[in-house]
Amino acid sequence: MTVDVTLNVNGRPHSLSVEPTETVVGILRERLGLTGTHKDCSMGVCGACTVLLDDRPVSSCLLLAPQADGREIRTVEGLERDGRLSPLQQAFLTHGAVQCGYCTPGFLMTATALLEENPKPTRSEIVEAIKGNLCRCTGYKKIIEAVESVTG
């Protein structure tokens, strides 16, 4: 059995016929070629697969395609504007917030949602926002500093 869904990814609609149990991370990576959204734990703990669903960060490994039908999905590939990095992406670059980079897209999406909702978060609000994203390389300090640097 398949169901027809429309996923609006980075502003572009994609009409797809999917298994009801297909996850959004699988569709992004395998069917739309958007491999910037990474997969790791597949149980909603690590945050590597974070995308924005109607502007809110969610684990796309736990999000079934029918749940996202007709809704807006944003991924790391949609952060640039006219080929230019967003200020947050730029800050990750210059603050050394990127090491192996596998967690980076997830952090960028989580922090993007935070800054859109709350352009001037305090340090503890930043920490609270990113607590669901794991990073094994950086110790988080430079990620937090990067987010802080683009606040208001």
Partner 1 sequence: MTVGDWKEPEGEKFALGTVEEQARWQAEYHRLVRDTVERERAGRGTDVDVDLRTIGMRIPRNDALYKVRGRARYAGNIEMEGMLYGRFVRSQYPHARILKIDISKAETAPGVKGILTAAEIPDDRLLVGPISDDTPILARDKVRFAGEPIVAIVAETEQQAEAACLLVEVDYEPLETVITPEQALAEGTVRIDPEDGNVITDLHHSQGDIEIGFTEADIILENDFETEPIDHCFLETPAGVAFVDSDDVLTVLVCTQYPHYHHKQLARVTGRPMERVRVVQTVVGGAFGGKMDNTVECASALLTLKTGRPVKIVFTREEVFTATTKRHAMKIHQRLGATKDGRITALDVRNLFDGGAYRSYSMICSGRCVIHAGMPYRIPNLRVRHTAVFTNHAPSGAMRSFGVVKVAFAMECQLNELADKLGMSPIEIRRINGLVDGDHTSTGQTLTDVGLLKSLDAIEPIYEQRQKDLAGQSNGTRRRGLGIACLGYGIGYSGVRNPSTARVRAEADGTVTAFCGTPDIGTGSDTSLAMVAAESAGIAVDRIRVVSGDSTKTDDSGPTSASRTTYFSGNAAHIAGQDFKQQFETAVANKLHAPREEVRLQEDSVIARNERMTFEEACRLIGDEIDGIGGYGKFDPDIAVNILTFEGNPYPTYVFATHLVEIEVDTELGTTDLLKAWCAHDAGTIVNPTGAEGQIEGGVAMGVGQALWERVVRQDGYIMNPHYRDYLLPGAKDVTQEIESIFVDTHDRTGPYGAKGVAEVSLIPIPAAMASAVADAVDARPSHLPMDAEYMLGLLNGNGA
List residues near partner 1 by CB under 8 A. Answer: 29, 33-43, 45-46, 48, 75-77, 79-80, 83, 85, 89, 92-96, 98-105, 108, 123, 127-128, 130-144
The span from the CA of 37 to the CA of 53, in Å, is 13
Nearest distance from C-beta of residue 2 to partner 1, angstroms: 14
Nearer to partner 1, 70 or 139 (CB): 139
Minimum distance, C-beta of residue 73 to partner 1, in the bound complex (Å) = 14
**CB-based contact 23:65 (threshold 8 Å):** yes
**Smallest gap from residue 94 Cβ to partner 1 (A):** 6
Q: How far is the CB of 102 from partner 1 (least distance, A)?
A: 3
Nearer to partner 1, 69 or 77 (CB): 77
- Measured on CA atoms in the order 94, 96, 101, 106, is the torsion positive or negative? negative
Q: Is the CB of 99 or the CB of 151 nearer to partner 1?
A: 99
Sign of CA dihedral 137, 138, 140, 143: negative
Would you say 57 or 70 has its CB closer to partner 1? 57
- Considering the complex, what minimum distance in angstroms separates the CB of residue 116 from partner 1? 18
β-pair partners for 5: 16
In the bound state with partner 1, the residue whose beta carbon lies nearer, of 8 and 35, is: 35
**HEC string for 61-128:** CCCEHHHHCCCEEECHHHCCECCECCHHHHHHHHCCCCCCCCCHHHHHHHHHHHHHHCCCCCHHHHHH
Residues 117 and 39: their CA atoms lie apart, in Å, by 26
